Structure 1
Amino acid sequence: MGCISLEKWKELQEKYGKPLMGAAIGIVVVILVILIYCHYLSGHLVEANQNVNELRQQIETLTQENDALKLENEELNEKVSILSDTVNSKVKEEEEREAEIAQAYIPTGFPLKGTATYKEEETTLDGQPIAIFEAASGTAVIATAQGTVSSIAGNAESGYIVMVDHGNGYYSVYRNGAKPEVKEGDEVTTSTELFTIDAGHEQLGYQIIENDAYIDPLSLMEIYG
């Protein structure tokens, strides 16, 4: 192989130099475009990564807040449950108390403090139901439920009648010849003594009025079931 002469080199340069230069410039331009595009993509990727990280942080924060709200909700539900149980218990206690109070005003008790004999052959007075009891002298006649003495009638000769209003449609009526130990307007309980049986007045007539009608007093008396 020989050396290329100067003239030959110039000839080759004139023939191929410009196309090669153009190709080189084109390659450089393409490389620059690729580099610019890569830089552009790189910037977008960085921004996208930042957005992803921010979203992850938001998700983590929301998750923590959600967990806190769940815990708070559980605590509130527990408090509501406790409060509901307390309220239900109080309501039940109040209902039971009201039932006890209502029961205390129903004349279901026995009208004598002590033993007595029931006279089965005498069950009506002037066509109305009555229970006649015979007790020993000194036996106390007591109210059969809480209430108020609404009236006292009669006298020592004909006998006395004490009527107790129980405030619920019930009245209890006590008939005896001894002097009453209460007066009209007195509040009475099942321990209040209305009479004391004395000699010559050993019988007690006992009646109950329910809603303006006389009923068999034994139907309410607990001692008789």
Structure 2
Amino acid sequence: MGRNRHKRKNSHVVIVTSDAADGRMKQFRIRPWILQVIIIILCVIIGALIGYFSYKKDIWTAKLQQTTEQNEVIAVLEQEKADLEAQIAGLNEEIAGLNEKIQILSETVSQKVQTETALSEQLEKEYLPTRLPLSERATMEDMAEGELMCVFAAAPNSMVVATASGTVTAVNEDAEYGNNVWIEHGNGYTTIYRNQGEVKVKVGETVTQGTTLFLITEESSKLGYQMMKDGEYVNPMDMLNISG
């Protein structure tokens, strides 16, 4: 019973042939475990390839979806950019319109300032006693000795007029000339008119340059004209000369 039994070793035979006319046939013996290892390796490789291509498909699908989403976002951003550019263009038009209005207003204000300046200068001139105190030409006699007063000999029917705009502050009887009228011009100047004619204004009345104060007649042809500056008598001819 002690007979040893030898296990029979199985092997696989791989036959390789050629399709040539003189082709020879070759045989290779492969152990089963080697064939199993080869099969396992092939299965692993095939599985790896299948997994790789499946994973790569998912990656490309994800990238494609991501690209689509990015394109959609880009399209939205481009639309927003176009809308913003349109808004900016509209705002630029509004700004141009506002700038034009500002220019017009600036020119209007400038013209108004110039007009007001011209009016102010005109009013200032009207309140300066620079014109002749008579409506017609007259002969001026020598200035009264010791007094800063011009004496004029006027023609009948001419008028004694205010040399500047102002307010009548006094109407008095005058011992030499009959009557006198005092006008305050609001700029430090006061003018005094002395004549025998009828006074045409009253105290408190506002007069303009050229307002009639007396009517000259044959009996009241003499006019005495004086001027004060800040309460001091000044030579009236200085102002008349300045005005030409």
State the TM-score bracket (shorter-chain normalisation).
Answer: 0.7 to 0.9
> Which of 194, 205, 216 is residue 186 of structure 1 equivalent to?
205
CA–CA separation in structure 2 for the residues paired with 1:220 and 1:206? 12
Q: Distance in 2 between matches of 1:26 and 1:64?
A: 56
Greater Cα offset, 11-20 or 171-180:
11-20
Q: 2:154 aligns with which of 114, 121, 135?
A: 135
Computing the radius of gyration over CA atoms, which structure comes out larger, 1 or 2? 2
Count of equivalent residues: 220
User: Aligned-pair RMSD on alpha carbons?
Assistant: 3.0
Cα deviation for residue 223 of structure 1 reads 8.8
Residues 177 and 195, structure 2, Cα contact 8 Å, conserved in 1: no
Whole-angstrom distance in 2 between the partners of 1:158 and 1:41: 117
Q: Percent identity?
A: 30
- State the 1:15 CA deviation: 6.6
* TM-score when normalising by structure 1: 0.82
Distance in 2, Cα, partners of 1:4 & 1:142: 152
Which residue does 2:222 correspond to in 1? 203
Residue in structure 2 matched with residue 29 of structure 1 by the alignment: 51
Corresponding position: 1:123 with 2:140: no
Detail structure 1 runs of 4+ shifted over 4 Å in the superposition.
Answer: 1-5, 10-15, 155-158
**Alignment pair present for 1:92 and 2:111:** no
TM-score normalised by length of structure 2: 0.77
- The whole-number CA distance in structure 1 between the counterparts of 2:90 and 2:228 is 66
Letter of the 2:76 partner, please give it. E
| Contact 1:140 1:197 survives alignment (8 Å) | yes
User: What's the offset of the Cα at 1:2?
Assistant: 9.0
User: SS in structure 2 opposite 1:79?
Assistant: helix
Structure 1 residue 94: Cα displacement? 2.2
Q: Does 1:104 align with 2:126?
A: yes
CA distance 1:156–1:196, shift in 2 (3 Å):
farther
Greater RCO (CA < 8 Å, at least 6 residues apart): 1
**TM-superposition CA deviations, 1:8-63 (whole Å, max 9, x none):** 9x999657433322221221111112112212222221122222222212211111
> Any conservation in 1 of the 2:177–2:194 contact (CA below 8 Å)?
no
Query: Aligned partners of 2:202 and 2:36: how far apart in 1?
Result: 149
Instruction: Tell me: CA distance 1:182–1:156, structure 2 relative to 1, closer, same or farther (3 Å).
Output: farther
Which sections of structure 2, spanning at least 5 residues, go unmatched? 1-22
Separation (CA, whole Å) in 1 of partners of 2:229 and 2:128: 10
Amino acid corresponding to residue 165 of structure 1 in structure 2: E
